[in-house]
Structure 1
């Protein structure tokens, strides 16, 4: 059953099963941070997809409908932000202005939807406890719930920002595991021979399913295979251009 909690028309908290959120059009025009509290599966949006497990975090942007393929029941806590209303909450005592600046920083990169794990184990544990606290408040709303939930959301946003703000920047190759390096090198070599290969064709050549290959790359690099292939193709195009200019 979907549980909702609205604070001053600026914060909307929703605890529900993934399919309920997918079917709802109520929050389609808002930015959202979704925390997977239970379940595993694949989340698809437009032409890309992400494997998720419990404690995964997704950033959701307006105008991009999502689709969940759950391996078993998936529950979410999602915090939605209305950029227009929250930008107008100028009262510095509310704390909303600072929170919204952090939200804007999170959504300032071109990738509108991505799944990441928090880098800090301490922060990951803190986020897990805060999410549980908020869900408890949503189930039993009391007089103190508004302030408690608001403060918890502000802390959650800043913990996520601290861990994910630079997550779109590729990690140096030296920090990847040996297995991840091997897979990435194989992908790069295939694209050097034929840059028009599809993800499915690359997976077949590596004797893997497309799902397992993408899952391995995400866990090893924090990026989707689609994003890495796009970067490799750009690098190959720049190299060809330099050769022509030489």
Structure 2
């Protein structure tokens, strides 16, 4: 396993799939995994996906993944601290632009799923960038940190602009009692005022924005922004149906 941690916020890992599967170090982080070699089936919860070389998966915290490789599978995975994503607007964060893109990317529910890039040009660019990062991880030099950080930022933006947003209904009964209580409060307040900001929601619940987002991520594997966006979408759809009735 080859690893590079940049400023305690960005983790890049090149390894065999089984190494990532068995490791617990990155279970609390969001990740974008690129299959650099191999073919098989990736399973998580009740879902599974066939993968082959150049496949891309989005990984969310709290989900146990399992690879069934037809032959040796290697991955390059970029991991992101969820609380840096939540604070993407912080001007002191040197990765502000990248984390804003990551935040938007993971605002769509159903994180752990295979992704396909629509643009052939972007697919080629991603392949070359992944190879560049793996080379730097194998032969670290003084310039490696900046090259890897810039390449990771470009990878994130290429993935983000190629993914069509898809929504799925929120499963019922899958969360803890505390998480359900918080989600119900958030849903109720959004229904009362769909323009409420995260800061206003947190204040109404007597919590800090950081702690509220942390609780939601820990309980659901999704950011608070994603939850609110879904509730607003449900509310808008309901109003449209009322007008059509």
Tell me which interval the TM-score lies in, with the shorter structure as reference length: 0.5 to 0.7
Q: Which residues of structure 2 form unaligned runs of 5+? A: 169-244
Q: 5 Å matches for 1:119-138?
A: 119-138=118-137
Deviation by residue 1:183-208 (Cα, 9 ceiling, x = unmatched) = xxxxxxxxxxxxxxxxxxxxxxxxxx
Higher relative contact order (CA 8 A, sep 6+): 2
Larger radius of gyration, structure 1 or 2?
1
Deviation by residue 1:70-105 (Cα, 9 ceiling, x = unmatched) = 0000000000000224555734682x1111111111
* Contact persistence 1:9–1:85 (CA under 8 A): no
TM-score of the two chains, using structure 2 as the length reference: 0.65
Q: Which runs of 4+ in 1 moved over 4 A?
A: 86-89
Tell me what 2:138 maps to.
139
Specify whether residues 158 and 144 from structure 1 end up closer, same or farther in structure 2 by C-alpha distance, changes over 3 A only: same
Alpha-carbon deviation of 1:168? Answer: 2.2
Tell me what 1:156 maps to.
155
Q: What is the SS of the residue equivalent to 1:36? A: strand
Q: Which residues of structure 1 form unaligned runs of 5+? A: 171-245
TM-score of the two chains, using structure 1 as the length reference: 0.65
- In 1: Cα distance, 2:48 partner to 2:148 partner: 31
* Contact persistence 1:40–1:74 (CA under 8 A): yes
Tell me what 1:168 maps to.
166
* Contact persistence 2:85–2:100 (CA under 8 A): no
Q: What is the SS of the residue equivalent to 2:153? A: helix
Provide the alpha-carbon RMSD of the alignment.
1.9
Alpha-carbon deviation of 1:150? Answer: 0.6
Number of residue-to-residue matches in the alignment: 168
Tell me what 1:14 maps to.
13
* Contact persistence 2:41–2:67 (CA under 8 A): yes
